[in-house]
Amino acid sequence: MIEKIIDLSIKNKFLVILMTLFVIAAGTYAMLKTPLDAIPDLSDAQVIIFTEYPGQAPQVVEDQVTYPLTTAMLSVPFAKVVRGYSFFNLSFVYIIFEDGTDLYWARSRVLEYLNFVSGRLPQGVTPSLGPDATGVGWVYEYILESDRHDLSQLRSIQDWFLRYELASVPGVSEVASIGGYVKQYQVVVDPNKLIAYNIPLQKIKMAVQRSNNDVGGKMVEMGETEFMVRGLGYIKSIEDLNNIPLGVDQRGTPILLQNVATIKIGPELRRGLADYNGTGETVGGIVVMRYGENALKVIENVKKRLDQLKSGLPEGVRIKSVYDRSGLILRAVDNLKRTLIEECVIVAVVCIVFLLHFRSAFVGIFTLPVGVLISFIIMERQGINANIMSLGGIAIAVGAMVDAAIVMIENAHKHIEHDGGKKPHWDLIADAAKEVGPSLFFSLLIIAVSFLPVFTLEAQEGRLFRPLAYTKTYAMIGSSLLAVTIVPVMMGYLIRGKILPEHKNPVNRFLIWIYHPIIKLVLKAKILVILLAIVVMTVSYIPWKRTGSEFMPPLNEGDLLYMPTTLPGISITK
């Protein structure tokens, strides 16, 4: 079958060359479109349920919110772990799904079960889903600096201007605000005045809620024109709160909110703060990327949007980037690209040195980039990011990818050396390719199949090493297909002219001169060689036992994010 493919390729040279050009074009397009990231996403498919229960202690939050949600989520299909955490005012429930579960399918199932459990929660408590992101979604962080604005003003700029603008950037799942003070109207009630006026606290709460509202009426026609009737009641200032009526006293005098309370603008109770480089508190924003997006493209779009938003900031406010993963991504990818180029250059030099025929060496060198482009086509279709592991798989395969072409070229040289001039040129090439083509094709497939056990890895191990196994396998399959299609065609066009015989190649003669006495010595002392091999294998057990192990090698991003937590009861001021 392989011989027939080689014959068809040689007979249909134009179609083979045309198909190769199509593959190069498609591979280039796929390579430019493939998402870039530094490391593969090792996160489980996870959905977070976030619930606020204001003013309640952790035990109450646990009993009334976290426990009902946790027990309901245990029935979600393909959920393998459900964890609940209760804090003051807050409840978090984490649902971790089995490997291979689509994140958006999981979110839709969780929403269905939230509808069932909502009736068991306290009145006014509404759970919400966390962002559709994973543990590696934190891609960009910035802070706001100003000599003219305090922390509360900077936080307002972040919450009401920057956050909404950045959330509209394609690929951004959430923009979280951190640090500063959230401004709020604070009604400080005097209990003695409440007793004097005989007003319960609940009545003040209802009065504030009732007065912070717009009321719509019907239409009024005047002078052949319709006018909409509206009652404007939204609170816009402290004065509006001061004038909220609570009732009348015994004399019929209105009792206003300012008669029983002091109204002011103050900060909301904080549960954390942000510090930059030890210089003091700051206000910042964290950009979280949506699951499956191109991290580098998202970061570039966020930077462009921030540049556009600078003109709309108050005078004196500056945006400063403090964490940017694009630097790590570019460094990692550039490092691997440089390694791949170095490997290709080394392979090219070795081919030229041993063949001493540049055009023949070009045939072998040509298969390297084309094989890599074939792997990118499948990567892009499968949704595999270009990261350290996936590009590392291609780097591992580079050495073996060129083997088939080199052997086939060497065999073509032998045929031309022995039968040159006796047969037509294309018949010589066809005979040389068919002689070794089937063996080379299946040997490359065997190398590709050798990584099949990696595909059986599960959980984080599988998510870490599968991209490497996929790309190496695709590169080897691509090179094996090239070896029986385009390589024989290129050999026919390029292996022409004066071909130097093997015995006249000084490099080959030197290596054979070294090899012959060594192999004779080894074959004479067979038992000694076997014993030495056993001794070396036995001695290697000692360093193997002493060698440490870890899941991943250390990765220095160049950034330090320090996130300390304190014991319960310690205030944020402390």
Tokens 């590709």, residue located: 448
Coil, helix or strand for 385? coil
Coil, helix or strand for 357? coil
pLDDT band at 420 (very low <50, low <70, confident <90, very high): low
Higher pLDDT, 405 or 373: 373
User: What is the per-residue pLDDT across 178-199, written as a single tens digit (0 to 9) for each?
Assistant: 988 888 888 999 989 888 888 8
Distance CA 172, CA 170 (A): 6
- Burial level of 66, CB count in 10 A (0-12/13-18/19+)? buried
User: What is the per-residue pLDDT across 369-394, written as a single tens digit (0 to 9) for each?
Assistant: 888 888 889 888 888 888 878 888 88
Q: What share of the chain is helix, strand, coil (3-state, %, to 5)?
A: 55, 15, 30
Across 190-332, the runs of DSSP E, i.e. the strands, are 215-222, 225-231, 245-248, 254-256, 261-267, 283-289, 318-324
Tokens 């509404």, residue located: 126
pLDDT at 476: 83
63, 83 in Cβ contact below 8 A? no
pLDDT band at 356 (very low <50, low <70, confident <90, very high): confident
Query: Is residue 50's pLDDT more than 90?
Result: yes
Mean pLDDT across 230-259: 86
The rounded radius of gyration (Å) of the Cα atoms in the chain is 36
pLDDT band at 421 (very low <50, low <70, confident <90, very high): low
184, 265 in Cβ contact below 8 A? yes
Of 479, 381, 466, the C-alpha closest to 31 is 381
Mean pLDDT across 159-188: 90
Across 10-127, the runs of DSSP E, i.e. the strands, are 46-52, 79-86, 90-97
Of 76, 3, 41, 5, the C-alpha closest to 462 is 41
pLDDT at 552: 66
Coil, helix or strand for 35? coil
Higher pLDDT, 349 or 260: 260
Distance CA 568, CA 169 (A): 38
Query: Is residue 358's pLDDT more than 80?
Result: no
Q: Considering the chain, what is the average pLDDT of its residues?
A: 84
pLDDT band at 551 (very low <50, low <70, confident <90, very high): low
pLDDT at 105: 92
| Cβ atoms < 10 Å from Cβ of 432 | 24
